[in-house]
Amino acid sequence: MAERKINIAVAGAGLMGRLLAWRLSEKGHQVTLFESGSLEKPAGACHAAAGMISPLSELFHCPLPIYQLGMQSLQYWPYWAKQLEQATGTKVDYREKGSILIAHPQDRSELLQFQQELNAKLGSDNRDQLQWLDNNALRDLEPELDRFDQGLYLASEADIDNRKLLPALLKALKQYEIEIRENTPVDCGSETIQTENGNEYFDLVIDTRGLGAKNQINGLRGVRGEVMVVETPEVQLNRPVRLLHPRYQLYAVPRANNQTVIGATEIESEDRSPISLRSTMELSSALYSIHPAFAEARVIETRVNCRPATMDNLPVVESEPGLIRINGLFRHGYLLAPALVAQAESEISKFIQTTEQVT
Ligand SMILES: Cc1cc2nc3c(=O)[nH]c(=O)nc-3n(C[C@H](O)[C@H](O)[C@H](O)COP(=O)(O)OP(=O)(O)OC[C@H]3O[C@@H](n4cnc5c(N)ncnc54)[C@H](O)[C@@H]3O)c2cc1C
C-alpha cells in the first residue's frame, strides 16, 4: 500500500535541507523549506565545501560508522546526480575517478602509516580498496605528479561540484513548486515552525539548520574551515589529490575551467572572519610543493565557514513525535547526506505508521 503523504516543514536550506526536501518532494510529500539567509548564496558550510566524497580518506581520522555511511552514500550519489542533471539540465560534475594520496620521499612513513591504519580498520576483506602506486602507476593516473615516486589510489572515492549541486537542487525544488521561504530565520518545535510572525503548523518538522540549531543539539559546535580556489591552465589533475605531510595536510580538488579547490584547515573556533595569512601561506606552499607550476596560479576565491560538529564528531538523527533533527555532519556533509536522507525517510515512515494507528 502506498504511504500516506504528509505536510512537512524543512528548516535550513543547506546541503541536508535541500537534498531532503528534494527527495521528499519526489515521494509526493508537501514540503515547505525555510532558510534564514539567501538561497542563491547559502550561508551554511555547504557553500564553502570542496565536495569530496571520501569514505576511505576520512576513515584515517574517523570511526568506522563514517566510512560505512559514506559507502552507503556512494550507492545513491551516481543515480541522484544523473536524475538531477536530467531534470534540471544542469551539470553537477559528479566524478567517480577515485582519489590519490601522495607524500614527499622524506615523508614516505606517512603513506605507510595511512595504509597500515586503514588495513587495520577495514580488516582483511577490504584490503584491495587501497592500491599502492609505484612511480609508473602513479604517472599513468596523474601524469603531472611526476615528482612523486609513490602513492596510494583509493578507487572507490568520488567527488561532486557543490557549487553546481546546490543551485541544481534549488532548481529541482522550484520545479516541484514547493514553498520556499528565504531570509526567514526559524525555530523548530514538534509540528511547529516559529517565525518572527508567529507559529506555523505541519504534520512534521525536520530541523536541518546546521549550526543554527546549536541550542537544540547537545554539545553542537562549529569547526572553522578555510579553503582557497586557484586557477591555472598549467597543471591538469584528473581527480582529488591529497598530500600527506607531518604538519601540512592538503587536498587539491580539480574543477572545471582550470580551477582547483585547495584545503582545508580545521580549527576549533566558530570565527567566520576571512582566511588568515598563515592558512593562506600553508595551503599555498603545500600546493606549490605538489607542482611548481602552481606558483603562477591565480587565487580567485577564498572560502571560510564552520562545520557543524557534535562532541564525538558523529552525525545525529534524533526523532521525537512531530520533529526530526539531523545535524553534526561535520567535515562529512557530502559524504554522509544521502545515507542520512535514507535514515530520515525511515523515521518518516515510522512516524506516518504511528499517526495512522492513532487516528
Ligand atoms: C571548508 C569546508 C570544506 C568542506 N569540505 C567538505 C568535503 O570536501 N566533503 C564533505 O563531505 N564535506 C565537506 N565539508 C562539510 C560540509 O560542508 C558540511 O558537513 C555540510 O555543509 C553540513 O550540511 P548541513 O546542511 O547540515 O549544514 P549547512 O550546510 O551549514 O546548512 C545549514 C543551513 O541552515 C540555515 N539556517 C541556519 N539557521 C537557520 C534558522 N534559524 N532558520 C532557517 N535556516 C537556518 C543556514 O543558513 C544554512 O543554509 C566542508 C566544510 C567546510 C567548512
Query: Cα dist. 313→22, 169, 173, 223, 326 in Å?
Result: 26, 26, 30, 10, 13
Same-domain pairing of 15 and 79: yes
- Stretch 108-118: mean pLDDT, rounded? 94
Pocket test for ligand 1, best of 58, 327, 334, 336 (most atoms within 8 A of CB): 334
Tell me, what's the pLDDT at 271?
97
pLDDT tens-digit profile of 17-52?
999 999 999 999 999 999 999 998 889 999 999 999
Assign residue 31 the CATH number of its domain. 3.50.50.60
DSSP 3-state of 168? helix
Tell me, what's the pLDDT at 68?
95
Same-domain pairing of 334 and 322: yes
pLDDT tens-digit profile of 176-194?
989 999 999 999 999 999 9
Share of the chain above pLDDT 90, in %: 91
Tell me, what's the pLDDT at 359?
58
- Give the closest residue (by CA) to ligand 1 atom 50: 49
pLDDT tens-digit profile of 306-343?
999 999 999 999 999 999 999 999 999 999 999 999 99
Same-domain pairing of 316 and 188: yes
CA of 327 to the centre of ligand 1 (A): 9
Supply 2's cell numbers: 502506498
Same-domain pairing of 186 and 286: no
Same-domain pairing of 72 and 22: yes
Total number of domains constituting the chain? 2
Give the position of cell 515510522. 350
The answer to whether residue 92 is domain-embedded is: no
3 pLDDT band, cuts 50/70/90, is: confident
* DSSP per residue, 291-333: -GGGGG-EEEEEEEEEEEE-TTS--EEEEETTEEEEE--GGGH
Tell me, what's the pLDDT at 88?
97
Pocket test for ligand 1, best of 52, 59, 61, 209 (most atoms within 8 A of CB): 209
Tell me, what's the pLDDT at 86?
97
Supply 226's cell numbers: 578555510
pLDDT tens-digit profile of 230-263?
999 999 999 999 999 988 889 999 999 999 999 9
Tell me, what's the pLDDT at 41?
85
The answer to whether residue 88 is domain-embedded is: no
* DSSP per residue, 211-262: GGGTTTSTT-EEEEEEEEEEE-SS---SS-EEEE-SS--EEEEEETTTEEEE
Q: Would you say residue 117 has pLDDT above 90? A: yes
Tell me, what's the pLDDT at 125?
61
288 pLDDT band, cuts 50/70/90, is: very high
- Stretch 84-111: mean pLDDT, rounded? 96
Same-domain pairing of 11 and 136: no
- Stretch 43-70: mean pLDDT, rounded? 95
Same-domain pairing of 234 and 301: yes
Same-domain pairing of 260 and 293: yes
Same-domain pairing of 304 and 315: no
Tell me, what's the pLDDT at 2?
78
Query: Cα dist. 165→40, 47, 170 in Å?
Result: 12, 10, 9
Q: Is the CB of 66 under 6 A from ligand 1?
A: no
DSSP 3-state of 184? coil
Q: Would you say residue 126 has pLDDT above 80? A: no
200 pLDDT band, cuts 50/70/90, is: very high
DSSP 3-state of 139? helix
Who contacts 278 (Cβ-Cβ below 8 Å, separation ≥6)? none
Same-domain pairing of 189 and 272: no
What is the domain extent for residue 232?
A: 99-155+221-309
Assign residue 305 the CATH number of its domain. 3.30.9.10
Rounded Cα distance between 44 and 227, Å, is: 14
Average pLDDT over all residues of the chain? 95
Q: Would you say residue 269 has pLDDT above 70? A: yes
